[in-house]
């Protein structure tokens, strides 16, 4: 095999070089941050904005999140560079690229469809998550015989990872792993600090265990934790940097590496900082001298200096999104927006089935209630007398670009420029899915996926001395529970998204979800 080099670009960005091949994966290097100026690359990768780093024949983009889809950077690439993207049920990714009027050829791939990258036998394919509720996909590259898995945000199943190795023809040579969260729960919720710490610790460990399970099932030759925490440089958001140390939901790459070395001592693992290059064949790393003296151990001074360098960029975000003045019609546009959303899917409306209150601060804000349920949607521009089941608070300056369709709801949520409350305290994936996709085709794809699963197929799981027969596939996102679950004290936890099911009743304890089919097996039926 010929030598293949993988260079870290920061966050989840990679550059793959092989004879006759230059490919960028999810490069995010533009200044100004993203998600309304809330996320910045950590550590800062500004020194990589150089032609020799960014000049490539191909760019693979995994999904539409703006820390992976860097449109200003793509616009700066030579026109002959070709873009490769997954084909998703919703058009959001390709629509964002089209709206940018880029000169590049865009090639959409179906799941597992191979695209030849040159005449040397190199190819790329995409591996979307099983459930179409999440439009995330891993990118698998075979270069000079080396198998490189760019997992980014995609939560793959064990079966998908094993198939990837089969596609390459041998165990993967390198697998990039995201081990840091990208969630506004629980840190944007109105919980007491001890509850935030408790939930954060659970989510952190759930993510770590999920990655460990994948690595044990189909170990690559080299594992590489990446896509660690963003840096929050806006003073209004700087407190979120406190969620990097344990038990926070944003562990950095150093913490992820420490966990892997402790739990999987036989798994070779490495962390690359932006500009570090790995020779995939030998496993040797060429360190970028830019990072001399850098350490994850204490980054408080580093973050303070970083924030000072980017203060003008944060200020520009506030200038770009001013507070809409009184009388701007924000409430009326809000009502029109949700009336249109409510027409998209009866299936989603019925599974949301609650009142969501929006508390909007600013000169043209207000308190507006949206009833979503089987009967459709009702928007009330005066708060209803009864307590809602969910409440979201945000400033009008951040809501306005969403209503103008300049930003997606998920961009706003990921910005962490919101606060939330819910009672009962259960996750409703359908509310988030409706806002996230806002597209009839995407919602129909979810409905087809969820209603087509065979509830009769079961597997057996053990809880101490008790054996239970349960649905093979998680009713939420289709994770195969034969090797994607842990069982303890009468509760089955699906490791795909950490949904908990009471084995005695099958009910989901921590989210809005169909029940799991579950029954206790009598001794006569136990397998031997």
Contact of 128 with 109, CB cutoff 8 Å: no
pLDDT in tens, 380-418: 999 999 999 999 999 999 999 999 999 999 999 999 999
With a cut of 80, say whether residue 455 has pLDDT above it.
no
What CATH fold (topology level) applies to the domain 5-311?
Answer: Metallo-beta-lactamase; Chain A (3.60.15)
pLDDT (0 to 100) of residue 1: 44
Please tell me the chain's helix, strand, coil percentages from 3-state DSSP, rounded to the nearest 5. 30, 25, 45
**Distance (Å, whole) CA 492 – CA 482:** 11
**Phi and psi for 227 in degrees, rounded to 5?**
50, 50
**Which position has the token pair 């009910």?**
507
**Distance (Å, whole) CA 107 – CA 509:** 42
**Distance (Å, whole) CA 183 – CA 192:** 18
Number of separate helices (H) and strands (E) present in the chain = 14, 27
Contact of 62 with 128, CB cutoff 8 Å: no
Kindly report the average pLDDT of the chain as a whole number: 93
Q: List CB contacts of 272: < 8 A, sequence separation 6 or more.
A: 6, 7, 8, 224, 226, 278, 285
pLDDT in tens, 148-171: 999 999 999 888 999 999 999 999
pLDDT (0 to 100) of residue 527: 45
Mean pLDDT (whole number) for 265-277 = 98
pLDDT (0 to 100) of residue 498: 78
pLDDT in tens, 490-513: 999 887 777 899 999 989 988 878
**Distance (Å, whole) CA 455 – CA 470:** 9
CATH number assigned to the domain with residue range 330-446, chosen from the 4 options 3.30.1050.10, 3.40.30.10, 3.50.30.30, 3.10.20.600: 3.30.1050.10
pLDDT (0 to 100) of residue 528: 37
pLDDT (0 to 100) of residue 495: 74
The closest alpha carbon to 38, from 184, 257, 145, 167, belongs to 184
pLDDT (0 to 100) of residue 475: 84
What CATH fold (topology level) applies to the domain 453-525?
Answer: Rieske Iron-sulfur Protein (2.102.10)
Q: Quick one: what percent of the chain has pLDDT higher than 90?
A: 83
**Phi and psi for 203 in degrees, rounded to 5?**
-70, -40
- Residue with the bigger pLDDT between 473 and 172: it is 172
**Distance (Å, whole) CA 292 – CA 294:** 6
With a cut of 70, say whether residue 282 has pLDDT above it.
yes
Mean pLDDT (whole number) for 125-151 = 96
3-state secondary structure 422-473: ECCCCEEHHHHHHHHHCCHHHHHHHHHHHHHCCCCCEEEEEECCEEEEEECE
- Residue with the bigger pLDDT between 213 and 13: it is 13
With a cut of 60, say whether residue 524 has pLDDT above it.
no
With a cut of 70, say whether residue 25 has pLDDT above it.
yes
Mean pLDDT (whole number) for 25-36 = 96
**Phi and psi for 216 in degrees, rounded to 5?**
-70, -35
pLDDT (0 to 100) of residue 483: 65
The closest alpha carbon to 203, from 463, 499, 507, belongs to 499
Instruction: Write down the domain spans for the chain.
Output: 5-311, 330-446, 453-525
Give this prediction's pTM.
0.87
Mean pLDDT (whole number) for 203-219 = 93
With a cut of 60, say whether residue 458 has pLDDT above it.
yes
Q: Quick one: what percent of the chain has pLDDT higher than 70?
A: 97
pLDDT (0 to 100) of residue 2: 60
pLDDT (0 to 100) of residue 481: 83
pLDDT in tens, 310-356: 999 999 999 999 999 999 999 999 999 999 999 999 999 999 999 99
């Amino acid at each position: 095999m010929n030598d293949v080099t993988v260079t870290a670009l920061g966050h989840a960005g990679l550059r793959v070089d092989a004879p006759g091949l230059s490919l960028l994966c999810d490069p995010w290097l533009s200044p100004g941050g993203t998600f309304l100026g809330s996320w910045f690359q950590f550590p800062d990768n500004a020194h990589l904005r150089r032609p020799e780093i960014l000049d490539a024949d191909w760019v693979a983009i995994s999904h539409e999140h703006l820390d992976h889809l860097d449109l200003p950077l793509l616009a700066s690439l030579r026109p002959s560079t070709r873009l490769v993207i997954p084909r998703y049920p919703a058009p959001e990714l390709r629509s964002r690229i089209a709206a940018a009027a880029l000169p590049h050829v865009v090639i959409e791939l179906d799941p597992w469809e191979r695209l030849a990258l040159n005449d040397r036998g190199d190819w790329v394919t995409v591996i979307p998550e099983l459930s179409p509720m999440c439009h995330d996909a891993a990118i698998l590259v075979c270069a000079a015989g080396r198998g490189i898995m760019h997992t980014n945000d995609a939560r793959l199943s064990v079966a998908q990872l094993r198939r990837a190795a089969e596609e390459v023809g041998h165990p993967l040579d390198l697998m990039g792993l995201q081990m840091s969260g990208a969630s506004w729960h629980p840190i944007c919720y109105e919980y007491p600090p001890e509850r935030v710490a408790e939930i954060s610790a659970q989510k952190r460990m759930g993510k770590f265990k999920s990655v460990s399970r994948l690595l044990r099932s189909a170990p690559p030759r080299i594992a590489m934790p990446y896509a660690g925490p963003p840096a929050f440089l806006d003073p209004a958001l700087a407190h979120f940097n406190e969620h990097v140390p344990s038990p926070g939901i944003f562990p950095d790459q150093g913490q992820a590496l420490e966990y892997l070395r402790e739990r999987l001592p036989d798994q070779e693992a490495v962390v690359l900082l932006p500009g570090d290059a790995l020779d995939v064949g030998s496993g040797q790393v060429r360190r970028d001298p830019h990072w001399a003296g850098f350490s994850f151990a204490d980054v408080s001074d580093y973050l303070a200096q970083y924030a000072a360098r980017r203060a003008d960029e944060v200020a520009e975000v506030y200038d770009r999104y001013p507070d809409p003045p009184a009388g701007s019609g924000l409430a009326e546009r809000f009502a029109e927006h949700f009336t249109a959303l409510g027409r998209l899917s009866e299936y989603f409306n019925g599974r949301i089935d609650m009142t969501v209150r929006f508390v909007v601060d600013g000169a043209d804000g207000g308190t507006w209630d949206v009833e979503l349920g089987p009967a459709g949607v009702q928007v009330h521009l005066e708060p209803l007398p009864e307590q809602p089941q969910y409440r979201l608070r945000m400033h009008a300056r951040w809501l306005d670009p969403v209503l103008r369709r300049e930003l997606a709801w998920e961009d706003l949520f990921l910005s962490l420029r919101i606060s939330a409350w819910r009672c009962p305290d259960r996750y409703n994936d359908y509310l988030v899915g409706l806002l996230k996709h806002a597209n009839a085709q995407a919602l129909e794809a979810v409905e087809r996926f969820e209603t087509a699963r065979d509830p009769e197929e079961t597997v057996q799981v053990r809880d101490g001395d008790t054996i239970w027969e349960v649905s093979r596939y998680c009713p939420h996102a289709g994770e195969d529970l034969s090797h994607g679950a842990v069982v303890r004290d009468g509760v089955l936890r699906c490791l795909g998204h950490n949904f908990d099911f009471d084995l005695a009743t099958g009910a989901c304890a921590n989210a809005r979800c169909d029940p799991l089919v579950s029954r206790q097996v009598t001794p006569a039926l136990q397998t031997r």
